[in-house]
Amino acid sequence: MFKRLAKVSLAGLLFCVAALLVALHTHPGLGRWQSYLAGDSDRTPRENALRINWLGTATVHITDGKTHLLTDGFFSRPSVFALATGPVAPDAERIDEALADYGIEHVDAVLVLHSHYDHAMDAPLVARRTGAILTGSASTANVGRGMGLAEQAIDTVIDGDTRTYGDFRVTFIASDHVPQNALVDRATGMNETIDAPLEPPAWINAWKEGVSWSVLVEHPNGNVLIQGSAGYRDGQLDGRQADLALVSSTGLFRQSDAFQRGYVKNTVTASGASLVVPIHWDDFFVALRPAGETPPLPWIIEHLNGSFSALVDPMAETNSRFMVVRPGEPFWFSSSRP
C-alpha cells in the first residue's frame, strides 16, 4: 500500500513539474497588437533624431550618434530554475554576446532604474566593459562596489539630481515599483536597500529594490521618459515634459482600474508624451534572442493583452500614439515640437 501511494505521489509530482515547464514555455503572441507595431518610417534612420533600441526588460540604449546612454544593461537573464535553485551572478558570455550583437562598444553612463537583479545585477560589468559610469541609487552603488568598481566609476544620485552627458541632460525622479503580492515582495526585497557591497553570486533577494526611478532624458532632438517599473507617485512629473514615454507594462493587469488610470495619468498624461512604447514585457527568463524574436512573458506570469490594454484604454483620453517595439528592433525618434 505504501509503495503504491509513493508511486502515485511521484507520478503526481512529475506531472506537476511537467505542467509547470510547459506553462513557462507557453507565450502569448502579438497578434492583437500587430497594427501598433513600429512601422517602416519609425525604423528608418534619419538625421537629427535619437536612435533608441529596447533590449528587453528595462534595458534601453539611446544615442544621438555621439553620446551613448544605457539603462540597466541586463543581459544575463537566468532561467526560473536557476533563480529558484541557487545563487546567481552576471553571465559574462551572454553580456559580451549582447554588447557585440547590438554594436554597443562605448557607453557614457549606465543608468540603473532600481536595484533588483533584473536591473542592477549586470550593470557593473556592463559599465566596466563599455567604460561607462555606473549611475544610480546608494543601493546600486553597493552593487558596483561588490563587483570591484572603483569609486570614480560610480555616481550616486538622489531624488531630483541631474547629470549631463554630451547633449543629454538626465534627471532622476523618485517613483515606485509596481505592486506585487507579499510573497514576491519578500523574495525581492521590496522597499529595502542594499547597505553593504553586494558580491555575486547571491540569491535574488540580495538585490533589493533601493530606489525605483523615473528617468527623464532631455535632448535637443526630443525628451524621453523611461519608467522602469509600472508604479508611480502622484505628481512625480510635475513641471516635467517628455515627447516619448518608454513605460513598463508588466503587472498592470493585476492592478485596479483606479491604479491603472493613475499610472497613465502620472506618466503619459503628465509628461505630455506624443508617443508611448511599453517595455519590460519580454520573457526575461530566457536568453535575449535575435532582434524581434524574444517572446513575451509566459501566460502563467503575465497577461500581455490585459497590461497593454491598461495603458491603451486610459490613453483614449489623450492624443498619444501607442507603439509596440519588439526587443532588439531599433527605431528613430525626434520631437515634433517647434
Closest among 71, 12, 2 to 248, alpha carbons compared: 71
Q: β-strand 224-227 against 213-218: which pairing, if any?
A: antiparallel
Instruction: Output DSSP code: residue 25.
Output: T
Amino acid at 152: Q
Return the residue matching grid coordinates 517647434. 338
Structural domains in the chain, sorted by start = 2-333 (3.60.15.10)
Amino acid at 112: V
Query: Hey, which bits of 37-107 come out as E strands?
Result: 50-54, 60-63, 68-71
Rounded to 10 deg, the angle between the 138-146 and 123-130 helix axes is 70
Spatial contact of 107 and 68, defined as CB atoms under 8 Å apart: yes
Q: Are 249 and 280 in contact (CB under 8 A)?
A: yes
Neighbours of 30 (CB within 10 A): 17
Q: What is the pLDDT along the chain (338 residues), one digit of tens a residue?
A: 545 544 545 445 444 444 445 555 677 899 999 999 999 999 999 999 999 999 999 999 999 999 999 999 999 999 999 999 999 999 999 999 999 999 999 999 999 999 999 999 999 999 999 999 999 999 999 999 999 999 999 999 999 999 999 999 999 999 999 998 888 888 889 999 999 999 999 999 999 999 999 999 999 999 999 999 999 999 999 999 999 999 999 999 999 999 999 999 999 999 999 999 999 999 999 999 999 899 999 989 999 999 999 999 999 888 899 999 999 999 999 997 65
Euclidean distance between CA atoms 259 and 237, whole angstroms: 17
DSSP 102: T
The angle formed by the CA atoms of residues 328, 274 and 248, to the nearest 5 degrees, is 45
| pTM of model > 0.75 | yes
